[in-house]
A and B are shown apart, each in its own frame.
Chain A
Amino acid sequence: MSILRIIVAYLVFPGFLFTSVVGLFLTWIDRKVTARIHWRVGPPWYQPYADFLKLLLKETIVPEGASKVLFLLGPVLGVVAMTILAVMLFSMNFNPQVTFVGDLIVIIYLLALPPIGIIIGGSASKNPLASVGASREMTQYFAYELPFLIVITSIIIKAGGTIRIGEIISAQAAQGPFLYSFSGAIAGVVMLLTMQAKLGYVPFDAPEAEQEIMAGPFIEYSGVSLALFKLTRAMMLFVLPLFTISLLWGGFADWWAVLKFLVIVVLVILIKNTNPRLRIDQSLRFFWIGTGILSIIGLVLTFYGL
Protein backbone atom coordinates (compact mmCIF):
# COMPACT_ATOMS: atom_id res chain seq x y z
CA MET A 1 0.00 0.00 0.00
CA SER A 2 2.58 2.53 1.05
CA ILE A 3 4.91 1.43 -1.75
CA LEU A 4 2.06 2.00 -4.21
CA ARG A 5 1.53 5.45 -2.73
CA ILE A 6 5.21 6.26 -3.10
CA ILE A 7 5.18 5.14 -6.73
CA VAL A 8 2.07 7.23 -7.43
CA ALA A 9 3.67 10.19 -5.65
CA TYR A 10 6.77 10.00 -7.83
CA LEU A 11 5.11 9.23 -11.13
CA VAL A 12 1.76 10.98 -10.99
CA PHE A 13 0.66 13.54 -8.46
CA PRO A 14 3.36 15.82 -7.18
CA GLY A 15 5.95 14.02 -9.22
CA PHE A 16 6.64 13.55 -12.89
CA LEU A 17 3.25 13.89 -14.59
CA PHE A 18 1.85 16.77 -12.54
CA THR A 19 5.09 18.75 -12.55
CA SER A 20 5.59 18.38 -16.26
CA VAL A 21 1.99 19.33 -17.15
CA VAL A 22 2.09 22.42 -14.91
CA GLY A 23 5.63 23.26 -16.01
CA LEU A 24 4.72 23.11 -19.70
CA PHE A 25 1.73 25.34 -18.96
CA LEU A 26 4.11 27.81 -17.28
CA THR A 27 6.29 27.83 -20.40
CA TRP A 28 3.15 28.77 -22.31
CA ILE A 29 2.64 31.69 -19.89
CA ASP A 30 6.26 32.62 -20.56
CA ARG A 31 5.76 32.61 -24.33
CA LYS A 32 2.43 34.42 -24.17
CA VAL A 33 3.71 37.19 -21.88
CA THR A 34 6.79 37.54 -24.10
CA ALA A 35 4.50 37.85 -27.13
CA ARG A 36 2.34 40.49 -25.46
CA ILE A 37 5.47 42.48 -24.57
CA HIS A 38 6.47 42.33 -28.25
CA TRP A 39 2.93 43.49 -29.12
CA ARG A 40 2.20 40.13 -30.75
CA VAL A 41 -0.61 37.63 -30.30
CA GLY A 42 1.50 34.67 -29.29
CA PRO A 43 0.93 30.91 -29.43
CA PRO A 44 -2.25 29.12 -28.31
CA TRP A 45 -2.38 27.39 -24.91
CA TYR A 46 -1.65 23.90 -26.24
CA GLN A 47 1.56 25.01 -27.95
CA PRO A 48 4.10 23.56 -25.44
CA TYR A 49 2.21 20.24 -25.40
CA ALA A 50 2.22 20.11 -29.20
CA ASP A 51 5.97 20.87 -29.24
CA PHE A 52 6.63 18.16 -26.67
CA LEU A 53 4.50 15.57 -28.44
CA LYS A 54 6.11 16.33 -31.78
CA LEU A 55 9.62 16.03 -30.35
CA LEU A 56 8.72 12.72 -28.68
CA LEU A 57 7.60 11.21 -31.96
CA LYS A 58 10.51 12.43 -34.08
CA GLU A 59 13.70 10.66 -35.01
CA THR A 60 16.51 10.83 -32.43
CA ILE A 61 19.94 11.15 -34.00
CA VAL A 62 23.15 10.34 -32.15
CA PRO A 63 26.03 12.13 -33.90
CA GLU A 64 28.79 10.03 -35.39
CA GLY A 65 31.73 9.74 -32.99
CA ALA A 66 29.76 10.94 -29.96
CA SER A 67 29.71 8.95 -26.74
CA LYS A 68 26.32 7.28 -27.03
CA VAL A 69 25.73 6.51 -23.34
CA LEU A 70 26.69 9.94 -22.03
CA PHE A 71 24.88 11.70 -24.87
CA LEU A 72 21.62 9.95 -23.99
CA LEU A 73 22.22 10.10 -20.22
CA GLY A 74 22.55 13.90 -20.13
CA PRO A 75 18.88 14.78 -20.67
CA VAL A 76 17.62 12.10 -18.26
CA LEU A 77 19.59 13.42 -15.26
CA GLY A 78 17.75 16.74 -15.14
CA VAL A 79 14.28 15.19 -15.44
CA VAL A 80 14.99 12.67 -12.65
CA ALA A 81 16.39 15.36 -10.35
CA MET A 82 13.44 17.67 -10.93
CA THR A 83 10.93 14.86 -10.30
CA ILE A 84 12.51 13.99 -6.95
CA LEU A 85 12.73 17.67 -6.05
CA ALA A 86 9.07 18.30 -6.84
CA VAL A 87 7.96 15.36 -4.66
CA MET A 88 10.17 16.49 -1.78
CA LEU A 89 9.06 20.13 -1.90
CA PHE A 90 5.39 19.26 -2.18
CA SER A 91 5.35 16.86 0.73
CA MET A 92 7.30 19.35 2.86
CA ASN A 93 4.93 22.19 2.12
CA PHE A 94 1.76 20.30 2.96
CA ASN A 95 3.17 18.26 5.81
CA PRO A 96 6.26 19.91 7.41
CA GLN A 97 6.78 16.95 9.76
CA VAL A 98 7.75 14.44 7.07
CA THR A 99 11.15 15.97 6.34
CA PHE A 100 14.49 14.52 7.37
CA VAL A 101 17.59 16.28 8.69
CA GLY A 102 19.65 17.77 5.88
CA ASP A 103 17.00 17.79 3.15
CA LEU A 104 18.04 21.35 2.27
CA ILE A 105 21.51 20.02 1.42
CA VAL A 106 19.98 17.24 -0.68
CA ILE A 107 17.91 19.81 -2.56
CA ILE A 108 20.97 21.98 -3.24
CA TYR A 109 22.68 18.95 -4.78
CA LEU A 110 19.59 17.98 -6.78
CA LEU A 111 19.45 21.52 -8.17
CA ALA A 112 23.00 21.01 -9.41
CA LEU A 113 22.01 17.98 -11.51
CA PRO A 114 20.35 19.72 -14.51
CA PRO A 115 23.45 21.83 -15.31
CA ILE A 116 25.60 18.73 -14.86
CA GLY A 117 23.33 16.91 -17.31
CA ILE A 118 23.70 19.77 -19.78
CA ILE A 119 27.49 19.77 -19.37
CA ILE A 120 27.73 15.98 -19.82
CA GLY A 121 25.43 16.01 -22.85
CA GLY A 122 27.08 19.01 -24.46
CA SER A 123 30.58 17.64 -24.00
CA ALA A 124 29.58 14.20 -25.28
CA SER A 125 28.00 15.46 -28.49
CA LYS A 126 31.26 16.06 -30.39
CA ASN A 127 30.41 19.49 -31.69
CA PRO A 128 32.62 22.54 -31.15
CA LEU A 129 29.68 24.86 -30.44
CA ALA A 130 28.31 22.36 -27.93
CA SER A 131 31.68 22.24 -26.16
CA VAL A 132 31.76 26.04 -25.99
CA GLY A 133 28.25 25.99 -24.56
CA ALA A 134 29.14 23.30 -22.02
CA SER A 135 32.19 25.22 -20.85
CA ARG A 136 30.10 28.39 -20.47
CA GLU A 137 27.44 26.42 -18.60
CA MET A 138 30.13 25.21 -16.18
CA THR A 139 31.46 28.76 -15.66
CA GLN A 140 27.98 30.08 -15.10
CA TYR A 141 27.20 27.30 -12.65
CA PHE A 142 30.21 28.26 -10.52
CA ALA A 143 29.21 31.92 -10.88
CA TYR A 144 25.65 31.72 -9.55
CA GLU A 145 26.26 29.03 -6.98
CA LEU A 146 28.30 31.36 -4.71
CA PRO A 147 25.60 34.01 -3.99
CA PHE A 148 22.98 31.23 -3.93
CA LEU A 149 24.80 29.35 -1.15
CA ILE A 150 25.44 32.56 0.83
CA VAL A 151 21.72 33.37 0.66
CA ILE A 152 20.83 29.86 1.79
CA THR A 153 23.26 30.26 4.71
CA SER A 154 21.52 33.45 5.78
CA ILE A 155 18.14 31.70 5.56
CA ILE A 156 19.48 28.89 7.76
CA ILE A 157 20.64 31.46 10.33
CA LYS A 158 17.25 33.17 10.25
CA ALA A 159 15.48 29.87 10.88
CA GLY A 160 17.64 29.24 13.95
CA GLY A 161 20.31 26.99 12.47
CA THR A 162 18.13 24.25 11.03
CA ILE A 163 18.82 22.48 7.73
CA ARG A 164 15.34 20.94 7.47
CA ILE A 165 13.00 22.70 5.09
CA GLY A 166 10.00 21.63 7.17
CA GLU A 167 11.40 23.49 10.17
CA ILE A 168 12.21 26.53 8.02
CA ILE A 169 8.57 26.58 6.88
CA SER A 170 7.24 26.22 10.42
CA ALA A 171 9.61 28.96 11.64
CA GLN A 172 8.11 31.24 8.99
CA ALA A 173 4.60 30.26 10.05
CA ALA A 174 5.53 31.31 13.60
CA GLN A 175 7.40 34.59 12.92
CA GLY A 176 6.11 35.66 9.50
CA PRO A 177 7.79 35.12 6.10
CA PHE A 178 11.50 35.90 5.99
CA LEU A 179 11.00 38.10 2.95
CA TYR A 180 9.51 40.93 5.02
CA SER A 181 12.80 42.15 6.51
CA PHE A 182 15.90 43.91 5.17
CA SER A 183 18.06 40.83 4.91
CA GLY A 184 15.11 38.80 3.67
CA ALA A 185 14.41 41.26 0.87
CA ILE A 186 18.09 41.14 -0.16
CA ALA A 187 17.91 37.36 -0.09
CA GLY A 188 14.80 37.53 -2.27
CA VAL A 189 16.50 39.70 -4.90
CA VAL A 190 19.58 37.48 -5.03
CA MET A 191 17.41 34.35 -5.17
CA LEU A 192 15.46 35.82 -8.11
CA LEU A 193 18.69 36.54 -10.02
CA THR A 194 20.14 33.10 -9.38
CA MET A 195 16.82 31.58 -10.42
CA GLN A 196 17.11 33.48 -13.70
CA ALA A 197 20.56 31.99 -14.23
CA LYS A 198 19.52 28.48 -13.22
CA LEU A 199 16.70 28.64 -15.76
CA GLY A 200 19.13 29.93 -18.38
CA TYR A 201 16.94 32.95 -19.13
CA VAL A 202 18.05 35.98 -20.99
CA PRO A 203 20.53 38.10 -19.10
CA PHE A 204 22.35 34.87 -18.27
CA ASP A 205 21.75 32.73 -21.34
CA ALA A 206 25.31 32.88 -22.70
CA PRO A 207 25.59 29.04 -22.48
CA GLU A 208 22.87 28.57 -25.09
CA ALA A 209 22.93 31.86 -26.97
CA GLU A 210 20.85 31.11 -30.07
CA GLN A 211 22.35 33.91 -32.12
CA GLU A 212 26.01 33.07 -31.62
CA ILE A 213 26.44 29.40 -30.69
CA MET A 214 23.08 28.02 -31.95
CA ALA A 215 21.54 26.69 -28.71
CA GLY A 216 24.98 25.62 -27.42
CA PRO A 217 24.94 22.24 -25.66
CA PHE A 218 21.57 21.31 -27.24
CA ILE A 219 22.77 21.78 -30.81
CA GLU A 220 23.14 18.06 -31.62
CA TYR A 221 20.02 16.97 -29.75
CA SER A 222 16.89 15.95 -31.57
CA GLY A 223 13.70 14.05 -30.88
CA VAL A 224 13.19 12.51 -27.44
CA SER A 225 16.42 13.76 -25.88
CA LEU A 226 15.70 17.35 -26.91
CA ALA A 227 12.16 16.93 -25.55
CA LEU A 228 13.62 15.84 -22.21
CA PHE A 229 15.84 18.94 -22.08
CA LYS A 230 12.82 21.16 -22.80
CA LEU A 231 10.87 19.27 -20.14
CA THR A 232 13.65 19.82 -17.59
CA ARG A 233 13.45 23.55 -18.24
CA ALA A 234 9.68 23.49 -17.87
CA MET A 235 9.85 21.53 -14.61
CA MET A 236 12.49 23.93 -13.28
CA LEU A 237 10.14 26.81 -14.03
CA PHE A 238 7.71 25.08 -11.69
CA VAL A 239 10.10 23.83 -9.01
CA LEU A 240 12.37 26.86 -8.52
CA PRO A 241 9.61 29.38 -7.64
CA LEU A 242 8.16 26.72 -5.31
CA PHE A 243 11.57 26.39 -3.65
CA THR A 244 11.86 30.17 -3.28
CA ILE A 245 8.40 30.41 -1.74
CA SER A 246 9.20 27.61 0.69
CA LEU A 247 12.43 29.22 1.84
CA LEU A 248 11.48 32.89 1.87
CA TRP A 249 7.81 33.59 1.40
CA GLY A 250 6.12 31.38 3.95
CA GLY A 251 5.57 28.17 1.98
CA PHE A 252 2.20 26.98 0.70
CA ALA A 253 0.36 28.10 3.84
CA ASP A 254 -2.81 29.23 2.04
CA TRP A 255 -4.10 29.78 -1.47
CA TRP A 256 -2.40 33.17 -1.67
CA ALA A 257 0.70 31.12 -2.33
CA VAL A 258 -0.57 30.47 -5.88
CA LEU A 259 -0.61 34.22 -6.47
CA LYS A 260 2.89 34.57 -4.98
CA PHE A 261 4.02 31.77 -7.28
CA LEU A 262 2.63 33.53 -10.36
CA VAL A 263 4.20 36.84 -9.25
CA ILE A 264 7.62 35.18 -9.11
CA VAL A 265 7.13 33.54 -12.52
CA VAL A 266 6.00 36.78 -14.16
CA LEU A 267 8.92 38.69 -12.56
CA VAL A 268 11.33 36.16 -14.05
CA ILE A 269 9.67 36.55 -17.46
CA LEU A 270 9.79 40.36 -17.26
CA ILE A 271 13.50 40.33 -16.38
CA LYS A 272 14.02 37.97 -19.30
CA ASN A 273 12.28 40.28 -21.74
CA THR A 274 13.76 43.62 -20.71
CA ASN A 275 17.47 42.81 -20.58
CA PRO A 276 20.24 42.16 -23.09
CA ARG A 277 22.45 39.10 -22.84
CA LEU A 278 25.58 39.32 -20.70
CA ARG A 279 28.86 37.89 -21.90
CA ILE A 280 30.03 34.96 -19.81
CA ASP A 281 32.81 36.98 -18.13
CA GLN A 282 30.34 39.77 -17.38
CA SER A 283 27.89 37.36 -15.79
CA LEU A 284 30.71 35.83 -13.71
CA ARG A 285 31.68 39.31 -12.51
CA PHE A 286 28.04 40.17 -11.88
CA PHE A 287 27.50 37.13 -9.67
CA TRP A 288 30.82 37.06 -7.82
CA ILE A 289 31.31 40.79 -7.25
CA GLY A 290 27.95 42.58 -7.46
CA THR A 291 25.53 39.94 -6.27
CA GLY A 292 28.12 38.28 -4.04
CA ILE A 293 28.73 41.49 -2.08
CA LEU A 294 24.98 42.08 -1.87
CA SER A 295 24.40 38.61 -0.47
CA ILE A 296 27.25 39.03 2.06
CA ILE A 297 25.63 42.30 3.22
CA GLY A 298 22.42 40.29 3.63
CA LEU A 299 24.31 37.68 5.65
CA VAL A 300 25.78 40.36 7.96
CA LEU A 301 22.34 41.95 8.43
CA THR A 302 20.98 38.51 9.31
CA PHE A 303 23.62 38.20 12.04
CA TYR A 304 22.32 41.43 13.58
CA GLY A 305 18.78 40.15 13.31
CA LEU A 306 17.51 42.76 10.84
Chain B
Amino acid sequence: MTNAKLWGLKKSPWVFHVAAASCNNCDIEILDVITPRWDVERFGIVLVGSPRHADALLVTGVLNRKSLPRVIHVYEQTPKPCLVIAVGSCTCDNHIFRPSYNAVGPYDKHIPVDVYIPGCPPKPEAIISGVVKALKRL
Protein backbone atom coordinates (compact mmCIF):
# COMPACT_ATOMS: atom_id res chain seq x y z
CA MET B 1 0.00 0.00 0.00
CA THR B 2 2.68 2.48 0.99
CA ASN B 3 4.81 1.34 -1.95
CA ALA B 4 1.97 1.99 -4.39
CA LYS B 5 1.35 5.37 -2.78
CA LEU B 6 5.01 6.30 -3.04
CA TRP B 7 5.23 5.14 -6.66
CA GLY B 8 2.15 7.13 -7.66
CA LEU B 9 3.38 10.24 -5.88
CA LYS B 10 6.83 9.96 -7.44
CA LYS B 11 5.57 9.34 -10.94
CA SER B 12 2.91 12.04 -11.06
CA PRO B 13 3.70 15.05 -8.88
CA TRP B 14 1.19 17.73 -9.83
CA VAL B 15 2.51 21.17 -9.04
CA PHE B 16 0.70 24.27 -7.86
CA HIS B 17 2.60 27.50 -8.24
CA VAL B 18 2.32 29.82 -5.23
CA ALA B 19 3.69 33.19 -6.33
CA ALA B 20 3.92 34.96 -2.98
CA ALA B 21 4.97 38.46 -4.04
CA SER B 22 8.00 37.53 -6.06
CA CYS B 23 9.64 39.78 -8.64
CA ASN B 24 8.43 37.42 -11.43
CA ASN B 25 11.84 36.16 -12.44
CA CYS B 26 11.44 32.84 -10.67
CA ASP B 27 7.90 32.57 -12.04
CA ILE B 28 9.19 33.01 -15.58
CA GLU B 29 11.85 30.36 -15.02
CA ILE B 30 9.19 28.00 -13.67
CA LEU B 31 7.16 28.55 -16.83
CA ASP B 32 10.32 27.80 -18.83
CA VAL B 33 10.48 24.39 -17.22
CA ILE B 34 7.17 23.34 -18.78
CA THR B 35 8.06 24.57 -22.28
CA PRO B 36 8.95 21.99 -24.98
CA ARG B 37 12.66 22.55 -24.43
CA TRP B 38 12.69 21.11 -20.90
CA ASP B 39 9.32 19.31 -21.03
CA VAL B 40 8.79 18.07 -17.48
CA GLU B 41 5.63 16.23 -18.55
CA ARG B 42 8.09 13.42 -19.37
CA PHE B 43 8.21 12.86 -15.60
CA GLY B 44 4.49 13.38 -15.12
CA ILE B 45 4.88 16.87 -13.70
CA VAL B 46 1.90 19.04 -14.61
CA LEU B 47 1.01 22.57 -13.50
CA VAL B 48 -2.51 22.55 -12.01
CA GLY B 49 -4.77 25.50 -11.28
CA SER B 50 -6.03 24.58 -7.84
CA PRO B 51 -4.14 23.66 -4.65
CA ARG B 52 -6.71 20.89 -4.11
CA HIS B 53 -5.25 18.98 -7.07
CA ALA B 54 -1.63 19.59 -6.11
CA ASP B 55 1.02 17.26 -4.68
CA ALA B 56 3.77 19.85 -4.57
CA LEU B 57 3.74 23.58 -3.93
CA LEU B 58 6.35 25.66 -5.73
CA VAL B 59 6.71 28.76 -3.60
CA THR B 60 8.49 31.83 -4.95
CA GLY B 61 9.17 35.29 -3.62
CA VAL B 62 10.13 36.90 -0.37
CA LEU B 63 7.62 36.20 2.36
CA ASN B 64 6.08 39.39 3.76
CA ARG B 65 3.41 40.29 6.27
CA LYS B 66 0.68 40.36 3.61
CA SER B 67 1.55 37.13 1.85
CA LEU B 68 2.32 35.02 4.94
CA PRO B 69 -1.32 34.26 5.91
CA ARG B 70 -2.16 33.50 2.27
CA VAL B 71 0.71 31.06 1.89
CA ILE B 72 -0.20 29.28 5.12
CA HIS B 73 -3.82 29.16 3.95
CA VAL B 74 -2.85 27.60 0.60
CA TYR B 75 -0.63 25.08 2.41
CA GLU B 76 -3.53 24.08 4.64
CA GLN B 77 -5.85 23.74 1.63
CA THR B 78 -3.54 21.27 -0.09
CA PRO B 79 -4.39 17.60 0.47
CA LYS B 80 -1.60 15.75 2.24
CA PRO B 81 0.93 14.31 1.52
CA CYS B 82 2.34 17.36 -0.22
CA LEU B 83 5.84 18.63 -0.88
CA VAL B 84 6.94 22.24 -0.54
CA ILE B 85 9.68 23.33 -2.93
CA ALA B 86 11.18 26.76 -2.31
CA VAL B 87 12.39 28.32 -5.58
CA GLY B 88 14.77 31.28 -5.54
CA SER B 89 17.13 32.83 -3.06
CA CYS B 90 14.37 34.97 -1.51
CA THR B 91 12.58 31.87 -0.29
CA CYS B 92 15.73 30.43 1.25
CA ASP B 93 17.13 33.37 3.23
CA ASN B 94 15.21 36.58 2.25
CA HIS B 95 18.16 37.45 -0.04
CA ILE B 96 18.49 41.23 -0.55
CA PHE B 97 15.35 41.90 1.50
CA ARG B 98 16.93 40.68 4.75
CA PRO B 99 17.07 44.14 6.42
CA SER B 100 13.51 44.99 5.34
CA TYR B 101 10.91 45.69 8.03
CA ASN B 102 8.36 43.74 5.96
CA ALA B 103 10.24 40.48 5.34
CA VAL B 104 9.00 37.95 7.87
CA GLY B 105 11.71 35.43 7.31
CA PRO B 106 12.34 32.39 5.17
CA TYR B 107 9.54 29.93 4.53
CA ASP B 108 10.79 27.21 6.84
CA LYS B 109 9.98 29.36 9.84
CA HIS B 110 6.28 28.93 9.00
CA ILE B 111 5.70 25.84 6.84
CA PRO B 112 7.82 22.67 6.40
CA VAL B 113 10.01 23.05 3.31
CA ASP B 114 11.31 19.91 1.59
CA VAL B 115 13.90 21.31 -0.76
CA TYR B 116 15.55 24.68 -1.40
CA ILE B 117 16.58 25.86 -4.86
CA PRO B 118 18.80 28.93 -4.52
CA GLY B 119 19.55 31.29 -7.39
CA CYS B 120 18.26 34.65 -8.48
CA PRO B 121 16.54 33.30 -10.49
CA PRO B 122 17.58 29.60 -10.56
CA LYS B 123 18.11 28.09 -14.00
CA PRO B 124 15.45 25.66 -15.27
CA GLU B 125 17.98 22.84 -14.94
CA ALA B 126 18.46 23.76 -11.28
CA ILE B 127 14.69 23.70 -10.71
CA ILE B 128 14.37 20.25 -12.32
CA SER B 129 17.28 18.93 -10.27
CA GLY B 130 15.68 20.33 -7.12
CA VAL B 131 12.38 18.62 -7.85
CA VAL B 132 14.21 15.36 -8.51
CA LYS B 133 15.98 15.72 -5.13
CA ALA B 134 12.66 16.34 -3.43
CA LEU B 135 11.19 13.22 -5.04
CA LYS B 136 14.21 11.13 -4.08
CA ARG B 137 13.84 12.17 -0.46
CA LEU B 138 10.37 10.61 -0.26
B-contacting residues of A (Cβ < 8 Å)? 31, 35, 38-44, 46-47, 50-51, 53-61, 210-211, 214-215, 218-223, 226
How far, in whole Å, are A140 and B39 apart by their CA atoms in the complex? 33
Chain B residues, CB < 8 A from A50? 7-8, 11-12, 44
B95 close to A (CB within 8 Å): no
B69 close to A (CB within 8 Å): no
- The answer on a CB contact under 8 Å between A222 and B12 is no
Query: How many contacting A-B pairs (Cβ < 8 A)?
Result: 82
Chain A residues, CB < 8 A from B14? 51
CB distance from A262 to the nearest CB of B (A): 22
How far, in whole Å, are A60 and B41 apart by their CA atoms in the complex? 24
- The answer on a CB contact under 8 Å between A223 and B11 is no
Cross-interface CB contact of A53 among B4, B39, B49, B52, cutoff 8 Å: B4
Chain A residue nearest in CB terms to B8: A54
How far, in whole Å, are A46 and B48 apart by their CA atoms in the complex? 20
- The answer on a CB contact under 8 Å between A226 and B52 is yes
Q: Chain B CB within 10 Å — which of A40, A56, A226 has the most?
A: A40
- The answer on a CB contact under 8 Å between A43 and B41 is yes
Number of chain B residues whose Cβ lies closer than 8 Å to a Cβ of chain A: 25
- The answer on a CB contact under 8 Å between B36 and A38 is yes
- The answer on a CB contact under 8 Å between B53 and A59 is no
* A–B complex contacts, Cβ < 8 Å, 25 sampled: A31-B41, A35-B39, A40-B36, A41-B39, A43-B41, A43-B42, A47-B12, A50-B7, A50-B8, A51-B12, A51-B14, A54-B8, A56-B8, A58-B79, A210-B48, A214-B49, A215-B49, A219-B50, A220-B50, A221-B53, A222-B53, A222-B79, A223-B79, A226-B52, A226-B53
CB distance from B33 to the nearest CB of A (A): 12
Q: Which of B38-86 contact A (CB under 8 A)?
A: 39, 41-44, 48-50, 52-53, 55, 77, 79-81
Chain A residues, CB < 8 A from B81? 58
Chain B residues, CB < 8 A from A221? 52-53
Chain B residues, CB < 8 A from A46? 11
- The answer on a CB contact under 8 Å between A214 and B5 is no
- The answer on a CB contact under 8 Å between B12 and A54 is yes
CB distance from A44 to the nearest CB of B (A): 7
Chain A residues, CB < 8 A from B5? 54, 57
- The answer on a CB contact under 8 Å between A51 and B44 is yes
How far, in whole Å, are A274 and B83 apart by their CA atoms in the complex? 35
- The answer on a CB contact under 8 Å between B44 and A35 is no
CB distance from A85 to the nearest CB of B (A): 27
* Pairs of residues from A and B, 3 with the lowest C-beta to C-beta distance, nearest first: A54-B8, A214-B49, A50-B11
Chain B residue nearest in CB terms to A56: B8
How far, in whole Å, are A53 and B9 apart by their CA atoms in the complex? 9
Chain B residue nearest in CB terms to A210: B49
Chain A residues, CB < 8 A from B44? 43-44, 47, 50-51
Chain A residue nearest in CB terms to B49: A214
Chain B residue nearest in CB terms to A221: B52
Chain B residues, CB < 8 A from A43? 41-44
Chain B residues, CB < 8 A from A210? 48-49
CB distance from B37 to the nearest CB of A (A): 9
Cross-interface CB contact of B52 among A57, A61, A211, cutoff 8 Å: A61
Chain B residues, CB < 8 A from A218? 50, 53
Chain B residues, CB < 8 A from A214? 49-50
CB distance from B40 to the nearest CB of A (A): 10
How far, in whole Å, are A35 and B41 apart by their CA atoms in the complex? 9
Chain B residues, CB < 8 A from A47? 11-12, 44
- The answer on a CB contact under 8 Å between B50 and A53 is no
- The answer on a CB contact under 8 Å between B79 and A59 is yes
How far, in whole Å, are A221 and B39 apart by their CA atoms in the complex? 26
Known: A58-B79, A222-B79. A215 touches B53 (CB 8 A): yes
Chain B residues, CB < 8 A from A59? 79-80
Chain B residue nearest in CB terms to A129: B50
Q: Chain A CB within 10 Å — which of B9, B36, B44 has the most?
A: B44
Chain B residue nearest in CB terms to A42: B41
Chain A residues, CB < 8 A from B11? 46-47, 50, 54
